[in-house]
Amino acid sequence: MTNETGEIRSTQRTQLNLVTKNNHGTARLTPAPPQGELVDSPLFPDAAKRELANPVQRKNLHHAMSTIRAKRTRVTAELENWEELRSAGEAIKNRVGRHLDDYLVQLEENLTKAGTTVHWARDAKEANEIIVGLVKGKLGPEDLPEVVKVKSMVTQEIDMNEALEANGVAAWETDLAELIVQMGHDRPSHILVPAIHRNRSEVREIFLEEMGNYGKAAPEDLDTEPKNLAAASRAHLREKFMRAHVAISGANFAVAETGTLCVVESEGNGRMCLTLADTLISVVGIEKIVPTFADLEVFLQLLPRSSTAERMNPYTSLWTGPREGDGPQEMHVVLIDNGRTDVLADEVGREALRCIRCSACINVCPVYEKVGGHAYGSVYPGPIGAVLTPQLRSMKNPVDRSLPFASSLCGACNDVCPVKIPLMELLIHERHKAVEAKKQRKSYNVHFEPIAMKATSVMFGNGKLWGAALGAETKVGGKVLGRFFDHIGPIPGPLNRWTGARDVPMVPTQSFRAWWDEREKNNGNKAKGDQK
């Protein structure tokens, strides 16, 4: 079947299996993601090389990152007790992790008491089977085979959309950035703003080309104004919200004491899904628990200020089971392990389970800023991704073993993490594990870790050199990054000679840290000047 519009009403479109240009010649209900599995991505250095070759993305990222960093610094400084808040967040999450069995049992009990059905899933496959089964059981023969989704990292992690698609159900992303990614046949590149690598004219092109294939088309005269792009997404998604029978969400927090779930968002698409559908399925990683409702006072201050750098995100929804006459009358929670208990078993590595997915560490990461999120081959990019992904996936594949090296160890991430995860220390811990894993696998054919280890120690042992290199110019900095992994060709200028023959000593001017701090200060001042 083609994507001819004809007389077909847009509301009937999801009954069609479309073959569009970007669907690789297969009939699909939703836009196809890029071919290949995420975990099949090239090793970080190779991926980094590819991403570095994309100047538009680098520019988009640089702009976005410097803006948000400056804002975050300002809004966290507003709270006099910020450091105490971080310590409280750290302690509460440690308490949950160290007594997770108790809290899981308590959460299940209170969810059930509130009228929510609880399911448990050992891994992604089991989770998807549960979700697909629930969805199919809820959709009648007359209903469109579709669900609306609130942005959720864990559903990305288990590749739920593709599992639904394979079972004849369209999963529609409703967060603007996720919509851009989905319509763009793309993958998210950031956990908070998944389309951060796209600029406004790219978004316009994606909307014009794809929206009409899957529902209400974008207006023909759509320009590149973010306001008008957002309006196009509003119109496109509204018909999907209005007819939705089943919605799928994640949860930012699950309160053990009351069985309350919490979703934090900005656009209202979350509220639409959480309110208008008849059935709500919430997919929740087992580490998402907070002990008491009162604990939310800590996390709902830490999270928005660290993530979007706002005093508060526009909308926060809290619900405790179904309520008669208001919102979905049937609620399910799927509690997912999918490697989290492996992380918990590592007494050092378990600190990463405190993560509240704010993305602050990603936003300050100089490596992320150069290469973007796709290079990490995981739904979790940046420092937290480099620490968490290899633990969740057990370093079975070379991509995971390369990730702990995807860092400059500059320490900026440690300073910003609202729950005080010592990301640098964890990266070093994971590097060690990667080398051990390598030793045990004689068949493993890429001699990558030792090279990277050596290169990192030389390069970052000499912070001045790295600082000078990064500071020189985006392009050079990017190439240096590649060069240090020994996977990217020669670079111009004095660094080439250093990395090639080491016959010309660099003239270091500043330590990396000092350079970084100064750069942040300048960015901050600039951003302040831009303020209304």
Residue in 333, 266, 275, 351 with CA at minimum distance from that of residue 303: 266
If one asks whether residue 343 binds ligand SF4 (CB under 6 A), the answer comes out as no
The number of angstroms, rounded, from the C-alpha of 356 to the middle of its chain's C-alpha atoms is: 11
- As a whole number of angstroms, the distance between CA 312 and CA 302 comes to 10
- Does 124 bind ligand SF4 (CB under 6 A)? Our answer is no
Give the helix/strand (H/E) hosting 129: helix 124-138
Q: CA angle, 264 as apex, 122 and 356 as ends, to 5°?
A: 55
User: Which helix or strand (DSSP H or E) is residue 233 part of?
Assistant: helix 226-243
Which part of the chain contacts ligand SF4 (CB under 6 A), choosing from 126-134, 351-359, 487-495, 500-508?
A: 351-359
The answer to the question of residue 85 lying near ligand SF4 (CB under 6 A) is no
Burial grade of 330 (CB within 10 A; 0-12, 13-18, 19 or more): middle
Handedness of CA 432, 336, 133, 249 (dihedral sign): negative
Subset of residues 44 to 83 that bind another protein, contact rule: CB under 8 A: 60, 63-64, 67-68
258 binds, among another protein, ligand SF4, none (CB under 5 to 8 A by kind): another protein
Among the listed residues 27, 294, 504, 514, the single contact to another protein using CB under 8 A = 294
- C-alpha span between 477 and 473 (Å, rounded): 6
Of 320-328, 375-383, 399-407, 491-499: span binding another protein (CB under 8 A)? 320-328
Give the per-residue contact string, 206-225, with another protein (x = CB under 8 A; - = no): --------------------
With contacts defined by CB under 8 A, how many residues of the chain interact with another protein?
Answer: 95
Please give the structure tokens belonging to residue 123.
Answer: 């891994």
CB nearer to another protein: give 190 or 370. Answer: 190
Determine, following the binding rule CB under 8 A, whether residue 92 of this chain makes contact with another protein: yes
Residue 82 interacting entry, from another protein, ligand SF4, none, C-beta within 5 to 8 Å by type:
none
Q: Please pick, from the candidates 227, 440, 507, 529, the single residue that binds another protein as defined by CB under 8 A.
A: 227
Pick from 31, 184, 188, 291 the residue near another protein by CB under 8 A: 291
Residue tagged 């079947």 (tokens): 1
Considering the rule CB under 8 A, would residue 230 count as an interface residue with another protein?
yes
User: Strand 260-265 and strand 315-319: pairing?
Assistant: antiparallel
Residue 196 in the binding site for ligand SF4 (CB under 6 A): no
Q: Does 118 bind ligand SF4 (CB under 6 A)?
A: no
133 near another protein (CB under 8 A): no
Q: Does 361 bind ligand SF4 (CB under 6 A)?
A: yes
Q: 412 to 441, contacts with ligand SF4 by CB under 6 A?
A: 416-419, 421
In degrees and rounded to multiples of 5, residue 337 shows phi and psi of -85, -70
Q: Which of 353, 358, 427, 469 binds ligand SF4 (CB under 6 A)?
A: 358
Q: Is 319 in the site for another protein (CB under 8 A)?
A: yes
Among 88, 355, 406, 459, binds ligand SF4 (CB under 6 A): 355
Binding marks (x or -) toward ligand SF4, 39..68, rule CB under 6 A?
Answer: ------------------------------
**Closest residue by Cα to residue 367 from 466, 449, 481:** 481
* CA atoms within 13 Å, Cβ hemisphere of 424: 11
Question: What's the sign of the alpha-carbon dihedral 54, 60, 62, 64?
Answer: negative
Cβ contact 157:39 at 8 Å: no
Query: Are the beta carbons of 200 and 222 closer than 8 angstroms?
Result: no
DSSP-derived secondary structure for 411-426: SHHHHH-TT---HHHH
User: Which partner, ligand SF4, another protein, none, binds residue 356 by CB below 5 to 8 Å per kind?
Assistant: ligand SF4
Which residue from 318, 413, 481, 352 is spatially nearest to 72, judged by alpha carbons? 413
Cβ proximity to ligand SF4, 96 vs 356, nearer residue:
356
User: Is residue 409 a contact residue for ligand SF4 (CB under 6 A)?
Assistant: no
Looking at residues 249 to 308 of the shown chain, list those that interact with ligand SF4 (rule: CB under 6 A): 306
Q: Which residue ranges make up the site for ligand SF4 (CB under 6 A)?
A: 306, 355-361, 384, 416-419, 421
